[in-house]
Amino acid sequence: MDKTSTILEMRNITKRFGKVTALSNVNLKVTQGEVHALVGENGAGKSTLMNVLSGIYPFGSYEGDVVVDGEICQFHDISESEKKGIVIIHQELALVPYLSIAENIFLGNERTASYSKRVMDWPRTFQRAKELLELVGLHEDPSTLIKDIGVGKQQLVEIAKAIAKNVRLLILDEPTASLNETDSQKLLDLIAKFRDEGMTSIIISHKLNEISYIANNITVIRDGTTIETLDNSNHDIQESRIVAGMVGRALTDRFPKRNTKPSDEVLFEVKNWTAYHPLDRTRKVCDNVNLKLKKGEVVGLSGLMGAGRTELAKSVFGHSYGVNISGQVLIHGQEVHLNTVQDAIDHHLAYVTEDRKGDGLLLATPIVDNTTLARLDKVSSHNVIDRDKEVVIANKYRQDLKTKCASVYQNVGNLSGGNQQKVLLAKWMFADPDILILDEPTRGIDVGAKYEIYCIINELVAQGKGVLMISSELPEILGMCDRIYVMNEARIVAEMPRSEASQESIMSVILQTSGKK
Amino acid sequence: MNQITNILKRNSLLMALIAVMIFFEIIIRLTGHGSLFSPANFTNIISQNSYVIILAVGMLFCIIACGNIDLAVGSTVALVGAIAGVLMVNLEFNIYASIAICLLVGIVIGAWQGFWIAYIRIPAFIVTLAGMMLFRGMALLVLDGLTISPFPPEYLRFFTSFIPRARADAFTLTVIVTAILAALYLFAAFYDRMSKQKKGYEVEDKTAFIFKLCAVLFALIASGLLLANNKGIPVILVLLTVIVLCYSFIANKTVAGRRLYALGGNEKAAKLSGVNTNRMLFLTYVNMGFLSAVAALVCVARFNSAAPTAGNGYELDAIGACFIGGASAYGGVGKVGGAVIGAVFMGVLNNGMSILGIDANWQRTVKGLVLLLAVVIDVLSKKRVQA
């Protein structure tokens, strides 16, 4: 088969859920040996399209043709598409935490003994797993449990698993969403390496810099239809060009202008803050951290994943993480003791978590209840809640933040990521904070929703509040913050005003200070 | 019309209960066994199921808090009952003091379990399984394996008598009470609606409002008349009403109730919102212990004895009632009203089959199937709504 032949063609795919049309006449053409990016806002239909391809939505439930190697395929479930060498790696990894790497790699595709297909051949399983790990550049013992390795490595295990299935077309859904810059880079380079060896991939991502770095062709999907396929064979496409296709308008500035300046008044200060890991009590998660936040200022906290940023925020926020915590917190120049979350809330501090599903929202609960949870005292008298008042408040935030939902009685779990984030923000805005710690406020949400979140941040500082923003996305830190702290290995290693900061300067500080304790 | 179907759909469980009642009524009438809705039997259903309802309310809070159950409630009922027997019958202790001691014992038992579950974080299933054996053993020790009876009549009066005491006044008084309650309900409903309108809040559709009003009034007046035609209002019904209303209020209207749901919905999120989750969980089990003691007092009065086997299997009745009533095994979801309907549902099944003279073994089999069926229908109907 020559290198330029078409491995996959999806023709006029239309998929309906009841009355809702999720995809209408979508076309996608993927050439053998390329990395093909699929971009679009959340809810544009990317995942639906991939589910059609992999047989999760079986043949007959959609219209149009899926053509692999020139022949029309009728997949009824994943195993049929896998037989054709199509493997999908979902954003939420499908690994079993308490099984070993080797067992996970061959789950559903077990290496069995020569005498029976029902008996495991353990030596062969581990031998083969070792070879596969070598191939993806993961230096771990195959008998290590999945729970004991980080997300970046887990991603590599997923890829090894796909290779074990003789993958020809690998689909990666948001592969770098939960990875830091270094791990992301490693993963992308691995995909590029496999491409050069002849493997074809489809990559779904919100990170446009990564897409322009790796993809040969970019197909843009909007509102369930194909908008265009952009050629990126020279890897020189402008990010704004992709964004224009995604949102249907040129979003020249990805960060809204802020017209207010921070005042000189220090609002919030952390002094000599040290905290230890709750399980490993000899390990410092924050080491003598000092930072200041002024009124009306957005301060960025940059760093790699695991640098201690979330740990710092949580330990300050009512000691909700860490042990043997020492140091001072000053609000308006007065020392305060925030020993419980309630103390922190009472002192008008808010922490908006990075993990909105895990520890931010009650997913099976309506928007209303989520909005008021942190400050039930504001909607109750004598401990009795005024439901009507709550509904009015929830509706107000729904309008102010432009949250898209059927009604405020809708369960938060049914909203898209961007709208969930807005509910989470509403919850903490309702708490009347002076100081907001926003931990990865735009993780996993699309460009349009990101822009709206940035606007909300600007409004908050315009009201004189201080925002401490933790983010792993450097463009966001550079685009939004007045001042930037860089954190590495539990310590603050640099402080720079926006004018002096750049992606290079931040990364080089991190690299210079790594492992030099 | 659409509004009314909506109400019916939202209360599918209640509709199922009504359907089962009508089904039994038809069969019982056809086979000449009398009627499910005879005044005497109606009173009977209430007193037969009082303990399940009380336990189900407490159990519901445990299920909401963490999706966990309390397996020890049956044994707690036995132990508290045994202590009540020893105090009131053997030692002829003051009745009020005995009741107070029994309730206190229940609270201590709840605190014991709550401490391990909430502060030491031992899985509730294990703690309460241990409690199930522990308290049953203690009940046997206290009773020395024997049954204590009879209880003093002054005590029985509290739980088994009727209002009014004199039979002759029963009809008039019950009708008057019913009328007053109906009037109060009407007033409250209209007042709530008007004040909402005045403040400019959303109010429910007019047809739906009137339909709901009529349905509640009909149920209230019908039960009032049935009771009036028997011996009047059972004291136990008053106790039940108070408990159900109180806990319903706590769950729906108070800050504590909201925090309970938050704890069950996502403990980490609740913690980061300032909820003292450990204390909340602890109090949930203390409350379960308290309500188990109340159920124990009701039980010994009803059977007029404290037996070592008392309360056998009650935990399962209570758990079943909650799950039939729509509680989620993952926590965070469930309503007091649902648990009550679930308990009555099982009670009506028991009662109906007993009237028909169906063999006890068959009754058990049918109950098992119905429990599964009820939950299956609930789950499937919700799935369809989502799709």
Amino acid at A417: G
Range list of β-strands (E), B75-198: 162-163
Q: For residues B23 and B25, what is the distance between their CA atoms, to the nearest angstrom?
A: 5
Q: Which of A15-24, A149-158, A440-449, B299-308 has the highest mean pLDDT?
A: B299-308
* Least confident interval from A110-124, A347-361, A498-512, B173-187: A498-512
- The total of other beta-carbon atoms located within 10 Å of residue A63's CB is 14
Q: pLDDT tens across B57-99, in order? A: 999 999 999 888 999 999 999 999 999 999 999 999 999 999 9
Compute the distance between CA of residue A346 and CA of residue A331 in angstroms, rounded to an integer: 12
The predicted structure's pLDDT at residue A282: 86
ipTM of this complex: 0.84
Q: For residue B225, is it within any domain?
A: no
If contacts are CB pairs under 8 Å, which of residues 349-368 in chain A contact chain B? 351, 353, 358-365
Q: Hey, which CATH number is domain A265-348+435-447+468-517, 1.10.10.10, 3.40.50.2300, 3.40.50.300, 3.40.50.720? A: 3.40.50.300
Smallest CA–CA distance, residue A493 to chain B, in Å, is 28
Kindly report the nearest CA distance between residue A4 and chain B, in angstroms: 42
How far off is chain A from B259, nearest CA to CA, in Å? 8
Which residues on chain A are in Cβ contact (under 8 Å) with B67? none
Give a yes or no: residue B244 inside a domain: no
Backbone angles phi, psi at A289, to 5 degrees: -85, 135
In-domain check, residue B248: no
DSSP A500: G
What is the CATH number that goes with domain A6-247? 3.40.50.300
The domains of chain A are located at 6-247, 265-348+435-447+468-517, 356-432
The residue in chain A having the minimum alpha-carbon distance to the alpha carbon of residue B386 is: A414
pLDDT higher at A376 or A257: A376
More confident residue, A280 or A424: A424
Question: Could you give the count of Cα atoms lying within 13 Å of A159 in the half-sphere of its Cβ?
Answer: 28
Q: Report the half-sphere exposure of A166 (CA within 13 A, side-chain side).
A: 7
With a pLDDT cut of 90, the percent of chain B lying above it is 60
The residue type found at B17 is L
Domain holding B143, by residue range, is: 13-22+36-163+254-381
Distance from CA of A92 to the nearest CA of B (A): 19
The CATH number of residue B129's host domain is: 1.10.3470
DSSP code string of A352-412: E-S-IIIII--TTSBHHHHHHGGGGGGGEETTEE-HHHHHHHHHHHHHHTT---S-TTSBG
Percentage of the residues of chain B whose pLDDT score is greater than 70? 98
Question: Which residues of chain A lie closer than 8 angstroms to B268, CB-CB?
Answer: 358-359
Render pLDDT for B342-379 as a digit per residue (tens, 0 to 9).
Answer: 999 989 988 999 999 999 899 889 888 888 887 787 77
pLDDT category at A464 given cuts 50, 70, 90 is very high
Q: Look at A373 and B253 and tell me if their CB atoms are within 8 Å.
A: no
CA-based nearest residue in chain A for residue B267: A359
Mean pLDDT score, A449-468: 93
Half-sphere exposure of A288 (CA within 13 A, CB side): 2
The rounded distance, in Å, linking the Cα atoms of A56 and A22 is 15
Residue A229 CB neighbour total at 10 angstroms: 16
Distance from CA of A344 to the nearest CA of B (A): 8
Q: Which residue of A lies nearest to B266 if distances are taken between CA atoms?
A: A362
**Can you state the angle between helices B336-355 and B360-386, rounded to 10 degrees?**
140
pLDDT digits (tens, 9 = 90+) for B261-304: 999 999 999 999 999 999 999 999 999 999 999 999 999 999 99
The predicted model gives A59-73 an average pLDDT of 91
Query: Which residues 325-344 on chain A approach chain B with CB closer than 8 angstroms?
Result: 340-342, 344
- Please state, rounded to an integer, the average pLDDT across all residues of chain A: 89
**B201 in reach of chain A (CB within 8 A):** yes
CA distance A273 to B32: 81
DSSP, collapsed to helix, strand or coil, labels residue A55 as coil
| Local confidence band at A2 (pLDDT 50, 70, 90 cut-offs) | very low
Contacts of A384 in chain B (CB under 8 A): 253-255
State the total domains in chain B.
1
| Per-residue model confidence (pLDDT) at position A93 | 79
Q: How far apart are CA B243 and CA B297, in angstroms?
A: 14
Among A365, A389, A390, A411, which would you mutate to test the B interface (most chain B Cβ atoms within 10 Å of its Cβ)? A365
pLDDT tens digit string along A303-314? 877 788 999 999
Whether the Cβ atoms of residue B298 and residue B292 lie closer than 8 Å to each other: no
B233 forms beta bridges with B163
Confidence class of residue A516 from pLDDT cuts 50, 70 and 90?
A: low
Q: What pLDDT was estimated at residue A113?
A: 87
The verdict on B254 touching A (C-beta cutoff 8 Å) is: yes
Give domain status of residue B298, yes or no: yes
Sorting pLDDT into bands at 50, 70 and 90, what band is B386?
very low
Q: Does A378 touch chain B (CB under 8 A)?
A: no
CB contact under 8 A, B328 and A363: no
Nearest CB among A359, A387, A392 relative to B266 is that of A359
User: In sequence order, what are the beta bridge partners of A330?
Assistant: A269, A335
Among A354, A359, A382, the residue to mutate for chain B (most B Cβ within 10 A): A359
Q: Do B262 and A362 touch (CB under 8 A)?
A: yes
The mean-pLDDT minimum among A125-139, A236-250, A274-288, A334-348 falls in A236-250
- Judged by a CB distance cut-off of 8 A, whether residue A20 touches chain B is no
CB pairs under 8 A between A and B: 87
Q: What pLDDT, on a 0 to 100 scale, did the predictor assign at position B383?
A: 65
Which pLDDT value is given to residue A515? 65
Q: At A502, is the pLDDT very low, low, confident or very high (cuts 50, 70, 90)?
A: confident
pLDDT for the residue B166? 73
Q: Which residues of A touch B272 (CB under 8 A)?
A: 317, 320, 341, 351, 353, 359-360
Is residue B51 included in any domain, yes or no? yes
Residue of A nearest to B385 (CA): A18
Mean pLDDT calculated for residue range A455-468: 94
Beta strands per DSSP E along chain B: 162-163, 233-234
Mean pLDDT of chain B: 90
Residue of B196, B259, B270 lying closest to A388 (CB–CB): B196
B296 touching chain A per CB within 8 A: no
Q: Does B266 touch chain A (CB under 8 A)?
A: yes
Q: Where are the beta strands (DSSP E) in A175-322?
A: 200-204, 217-222, 225-231, 266-276, 284-294, 298-302
Q: Does A376 touch chain B (CB under 8 A)?
A: yes
Gap between the Cα atoms of A381 and A368, Å rounded: 18
Q: Which two tokens stand for residue A38?
A: 């699929």
The Cα of B248 is separated from the nearest Cα of chain A by a number of Å equal to 12
Q: How far apart are CA B252 and CA B330, in angstroms?
A: 19
Mean pLDDT across B40-52: 90
Per the structure block, which two tokens stand in for B301? 């009065």
pLDDT of residue A1: 42
* Inter-chain residue contact A364 with B332, CB threshold 8 Å: yes
> How far apart are alpha carbons B375 and A389 in whole angstroms?
34
Judge whether A6-247 and A265-348+435-447+468-517 match in fold. Answer: yes
Q: Which residues of B touch A369 (CB under 8 A)?
A: 258, 261-262
Q: What's the whole-model pTM score?
A: 0.82
- Residues 282-321 on A with a CB inside 8 Å of B are 317-318, 320
* Domain assignment of residue B221, yes or no: no
pLDDT at B207: 85
Residue contact B266–A391, C-beta within 8 A = no
